[in-house]
Amino acid sequence: MQHYQLFIDGSWTDGRTGQVMSSQNPATGQDWATFACAAAEDVDRAVAAAKRTLADPGWRDMTQTARGKLLYRLAELIEERAAHIGEIETTDSGKLLAETASQTKYVGDYYRYYAGLADKIEGQVLPIDKPDMHVFTRREPIGVVAAIVPWNAQMFLTATKLGPALAAGCCVVLKASEIAPAPMLEFARLIEEAGFPAGVVSVITGDAENCAIPLTRHKDVDRVAFTGGPETARHVVRNSAENFAVTTLELGGKSPILVFEDADLEGAANGLIAGNFGASGQSCVAGTRGLVQRPVFEELARRIAEKSEGIVVGDPLAASTHVGPLCTRAQVEKIGATLEAAKSQGARIRFGGAPLDRPGNYMAPTLVECKTPETETLQVEMFGPVMSLLPFDTEEEAIALANDTPYGLGSGVFTQNVARAHRVSSRLRAGICWVNTYRAVSPIAPFGGFNQSGYGREAGLEAILDYTRTKTTWINMSEAPMSNPFVMR
């Protein structure tokens, strides 16, 4: 059985307490690997290494261009090892190999994007209103970063944090989820091979009490970048009160996909399937609230059902599989309970609706026809292949339904009316709006949510600035001595 150690200060090590957890293959239900768990002492070591390295000339004085070259090298290594890391991630989390391998390869572009930005972090000379004063600003690394990522898209979500942080000159302690952490520990080998100095990046994992809490409240952590659920995020925010760390949160959602009667129904059906059954529904931007204008509701539901007949649920390592197992058994059980509650509210299961009778955490792709917006499947984030459809009559009603949620991460609009596309997208309370497409991402485009889907943005140009602080320097250029401070002029 594969055993993974922690990567701290450039060395591989077991945790100080010797705690070990096992990881289960979701496709078989069998343990396949073990991993060391960090305790508070290990967190201290990782943070201390990051703080020391920030002040070390080897990293502190490295030119921004040189940092960019390290990131370019990391991007090359990720692309070279994408198939291997993808296979590890699939075995550990149950995500399709076709997705994990391609997504891993694509995140190389994120590191390449921030490699190019590394030497473009600029200050400015200020046209100050004081004579003989030369005043300029420069952006300096914010310091030690705690980056916390979940299991469901870990290579992508790591890239959106680590790329800008390293380009800005920060040092990072990366906390992988205690559920399926193996890909992150494999990724640590690439950090080492790329040539980053010891202490620039440490990769740890472990439970909340012994690892996550000591990390997010650590006195020497300057910034916390967290992706996960709202309940955990509340603890992170409370913990950050101990160190006043700058915090960004990318949380969950119940994203709406609005389909108007003038939409291309073929594209809309594909968008809803991609938004709900892609990644087996284990996506923070899953479009689980399908809002469909009444005249096309039945036709769209029919098309979705027809297309779904060909979905292959099976071994995530097989190229023919479309939907793999869910990462944990708890997800399957949560979905079952949520579907039962929805049926008691009058919802109709159009297809699916039950786990598959085989080893592993398999759930059948499911379509739920809802009568009211209060239906449980429209309210609860299930993290599985469940699509819910609700009819609407007017544009105003659709917008009101879409915004009637505490979340606000993703959203989608399907219409062939350009004016409507602009009108509706501008009124949706969500950080991302896709029109006539869904789940598209790019290192160039900011990613993040409104409301309880979090705050702050990842990816894009502005993200790198969030890993810096502005320093203002005043230089008196007069040859005369500084004036008497007690004589006012």
Q: Where are the alpha helices (DSSP H) in 217-347?
A: 230-240, 265-277, 294-308, 329-344
The pLDDT value recorded for residue 11 is 97
Residue 479 lies in a domain: no
| Pair (245, 275) in one structural domain | no
CATH of the domain at 374: 3.40.309.10
Sort strands 348-351 and 412-414 into parallel, antiparallel or unpaired.
Answer: unpaired
| Pair (301, 390) in one structural domain | yes
| Pair (430, 457) in one structural domain | no
- pLDDT tens-place string over residues 445-478: 999 999 999 999 999 999 999 999 999 999 999 9
- pLDDT tens-place string over residues 137-146: 999 999 999 9
Distance CA 476, CA 257 (A): 58
pTM greater than 0.85 (yes/no):
yes
For residues 186-202, average pLDDT: 98
Tokens found for residue 192: 């080492």
For residues 210-234, average pLDDT: 96
The pLDDT value recorded for residue 483 is 87
| Closest to 403 measured CA to CA, from 457, 453, 339 | 453
- pLDDT tens-place string over residues 363-394: 999 999 999 999 999 999 999 999 999 999 99
**Residues forming the active site:** 250
Residue 78 lies in a domain: yes
| Pair (337, 216) in one structural domain | no
State how far the alpha carbon of 193 is from the alpha carbons of 76, 197, 436, 479, in Å: 11, 10, 41, 52
| Pair (247, 298) in one structural domain | no
| Closest to 145 measured CA to CA, from 132, 160, 131 | 160
- pLDDT tens-place string over residues 257-299: 999 999 999 999 999 999 999 999 999 999 999 999 999 999 9
**With b meaning 16 or more CB within 10 Å and e meaning fewer, what string describes 145-169?**
bbbbbbbbbbbbbbbbbbbbbbbbb
Domain region containing 284:
256-435
- Domains identified in the chain, total number: 2
* DSSP code per residue over 476-488: E--SSPPPPTTS-
**pLDDT class for 487, splitting at 50, 70, 90?**
confident
Distance CA 59, CA 172 (A): 13
**pLDDT class for 489, splitting at 50, 70, 90?**
low
Distance CA 42, CA 62 (A): 27
| Pair (308, 400) in one structural domain | yes
- Residues with Cβ within 8 Å of residue 80, at least 6 apart in sequence: none
Residue 99 lies in a domain: yes
Distance CA 43, CA 34 (A): 19
| Pair (247, 280) in one structural domain | no
DSSP conformational letter for 373: T
Residue 489 lies in a domain: no
| Closest to 139 measured CA to CA, from 448, 489, 468, 475 | 468
Residue 485 lies in a domain: no
- Where are the strands (E) in 315-449, listed by range? 348-351, 366-369, 386-392, 412-414, 434-435
- pLDDT tens-place string over residues 43-92: 999 999 999 999 999 999 999 999 999 999 999 999 999 999 999 999 99
Residue 340 lies in a domain: yes
Q: What integer best gives the mean pLDDT of the chain?
A: 96
| Pair (339, 217) in one structural domain | no
| Pair (246, 265) in one structural domain | no
| Pair (244, 291) in one structural domain | no
For residues 187-216, average pLDDT: 97
| Pair (223, 267) in one structural domain | no
Residue 443 lies in a domain: no
| Pair (143, 242) in one structural domain | yes
CATH of the domain at 216: 3.40.605.10
